[in-house]
Amino acid sequence: MMSAGQSLRLLREQLGLTMRDVENASIAIAARHKSEEFAIPPSRLSDIETKGVLPSIYRLYSLAVIYRRDVLEILTFYGVDLNCAAEDLSLAQPPKSHTLATLRSGTLARIPVKLDPSFDPRYTMNMGRVIEQWGLVPLSYLSQFANREYTYGYIGSEDFTMYPILPPGTFVQIDESKTRVAEGAWRSEYERPIYFVETREGYICCWCSLQREDLVLQSHPLSPVPVQVLKHPQEAEVIGQVVGVAMRLGEWASVNALPELKEPEALN
């Protein structure tokens, strides 16, 4: 298996470029961006190709441009595969809710490519047992299913705003076309629309209602998070309505481990 430096050298030789050619091209790039960080002297390129020296992010960019390759491809030479980002997301648990942009840099998606013939979508079943084969598929092939109205959010590990129906660690799908807060009488908490809201302090996933120029951010009655009232849209802007949810089960915290719960309101 070739090292990263050997792979870069192979790319250079396939294009018929000398080290001096690379230097001259990188100097032009450095001049255009007004930064000497993009320049690659022959001695440094030799170290990169033969001694395992890691190029800086600026020189990595220059090499990608000069060799006519995607930066993501060159990163894989060094063992950095951005297609693994989806699997690594669970290794970091930010305490605050946020939107997800990590997956935009991936080029491949691992999806089921073959299901057991007995699979029947009418019945609940163990999907792990009906998936016969997983495969890597270029994301460009999935573009026909893309819907730009949707974005995705994550409920922070310390965000109990909509607990228990949306516990910390929940992923939510957000319809960005639904930014108008709906008013009405809801027969249950599951019928009431949930919104993903951006504030000056970060993101909040909650129920909402409008009171003139104020946006009321309503937490779940069992949540320890108090209701907030913010100016709309100066202090709070509705990103969209939550239309899909993915969460882990079986990882619930005990009541004693939760933040102090709010006292129930007295009935009139």
**pLDDT tens string 62-120:** 999 999 999 989 999 999 988 777 778 778 888 888 877 766 666 666 666 677 787 66
Out of 39-43, 101-105, 148-152, 164-168, which region has the weakest mean confidence (pLDDT)?
Answer: 101-105
Q: Residue 264: pLDDT band by 50, 70, 90 thresholds?
A: very low
Q: Which two tokens stand for residue 150?
A: 């949707």
Q: Which residues are registered as beta bridge partners of 150?
A: 175
pLDDT, position 116 = 78
- The C-alpha angle with vertex 8 and arms to 11 and 24, in degrees rounded to 5, equals 80
Q: Residue 267: pLDDT band by 50, 70, 90 thresholds?
A: very low
Strand, helix or coil for residue 163? coil
Is residue 252 over pLDDT 70?
no
Ramachandran area for residue 266 (φ above 0: left; ψ -120 to 50: alpha; else beta): beta
**Structural domains in the chain?**
4-77 (1.10.260.40), 85-90+103-145 (no CATH), 150-249 (2.10.109.10)
pLDDT, position 25 = 97
Q: Which helix (H) or strand (E) holds 115?
A: strand 108-115
pLDDT, position 146 = 56
What are the φ and ψ backbone dihedral angles of 241, each rounded to 5 degrees? -100, 140
Rounded average pLDDT over 177-205? 92
- Please count the residues of the chain: 268
Q: How far apart are CA 153 and CA 99, in angstroms?
A: 4
Q: Which two tokens stand for residue 104?
A: 């935009």
Q: Which of 57-61, 132-136, 263-267 has the highest mean pLDDT?
A: 57-61
pLDDT, position 157 = 83
Q: How far apart are CA 94 and CA 246, in angstroms?
A: 17
Q: Are 130 and 118 in contact (CB under 8 A)?
A: yes
| pLDDT tens track for 126-163 | 555 667 776 666 655 555 555 567 888 888 888 999 99
Measured CA to CA in angstroms, residue 75 lies from 3, 59, 80, 134, 187 at distances of 12, 12, 5, 24, 52
